[in-house]
Amino acid sequence: MEVSNLSSSCIKTYDWCEWKWFLQYELKFQDEFGPSASLGGSVHDALEYISKCKIDGKPVPNPDKVLNEKLSVHDNITFKKFKSKLKKVTKGYNDLFNSDYRPDSEKVLCVEQYFKIPLEESIFSLDKTKDGSIRYLTISGFIDRIDKIDDDTIEIIDYKTGSKKQFFCNKNFERDSLNIKMDIQPRLYHMAARYTFPQYSNVIVTFIYIADGGPVLSVFCDEDIEETKQIIKKYLNKIRDNDDPQRDLSWKCSKMCTFGKNGVCQEVWEEKDLVGLNFVKQKYQALNKE
């Protein structure tokens, strides 16, 4: 399969299901967001807005008012069955303002920090462009928030409205301070921070589980970067060498996967069996061209 960029969500999708990765990242089918993702997006938007007000020196608005405004955009999070989670998330959101992680803190350096970094090393080379220059794999993502702790240290904060449980791989565990380094997301954040903010040698990465127990953190150092590069290299090779992506058929298909729920998964799979993967690739890349 073709790969030119890796992000945390991209890698986690591949771990979950190779076929879903193929549909989403190579054929460019659009993933849809359900109530849970809409709720998470609303909370992120509210916290980001409040932090931006503080950074810009503007009056900080009432947190409940901001959250309600962001929630009102999404009709699909008012379903009756979703009220229990909404209550937990709202409580955790309000608790943040009485904690060391309040979003209107003086420590907040920036929010929604985008990164897209080319890894200009031979192990990440992809091909050559028309002018003969080498094209390299990039890593990308958004960091929710970065706090300045001192002149040498920053803390990357990622807000989570879901569970600490790891659903999308065969390793069934809850994230804690000891195993958070098993996750690619904080590793990519650390690597991006060292590229983007090289003046800070110490990087703390904190996941705040708003509805499931609060912060979980880990400290990264420069020695971790080499291991992160090896993980990235492993996924680059796995995805690039995979010319027969398989489906991971499970309960997640009908409950958590857009393509399992809307029939795209089965339809394209059957078409692939009839006409081959390359024909399917050419057809849908043309149809779904951005």
Residue with tokens 């420069």: 222
> Which amino acid makes up residue 45?
D
Tell me what pLDDT residue 163 has.
80
Measured CA to CA, the distance from residue 256 to residue 58 in angstroms comes to 40
Q: Which of 154, 78, 153, 58 is nearest to 113 (CA)?
A: 154
Residue with tokens 């060391």: 100
The pLDDT tens digits of the residues spanning 78-118 come to: 555 577 888 899 999 999 999 999 999 999 999 999 999 99
The pLDDT tens digits of the residues spanning 172-213 come to: 545 555 567 788 999 999 999 999 999 999 999 999 999 888
Q: Which of 89, 93, 101, 103 is nearest to 211 (CA)?
A: 89
Query: Nearest 5°: phi and psi at 107?
Result: -75, -20
* Residue 120 DSSP SS3: coil
**Domains of the chain by residue range:** 5-32+107-240
Tell me what pLDDT residue 10 has.
97
Residue 54 tokens read as 């503080």
Q: Are 136 and 124 in contact (CB under 8 A)?
A: yes
Tell me what pLDDT residue 16 has.
92
- Give the residues of the chain that fall short of pLDDT 70: 75-81, 166-179, 290
Tell me what pLDDT residue 249 has.
87
Tell me what pLDDT residue 212 has.
87
Cα separations in angstroms, 140 against 35, 250, 270: 25, 29, 33
Residue with tokens 């390359």: 278
Q: How would you classify the pairing of strands 108-118 and 214-220?
A: unpaired
* Residue 273 DSSP SS3: helix
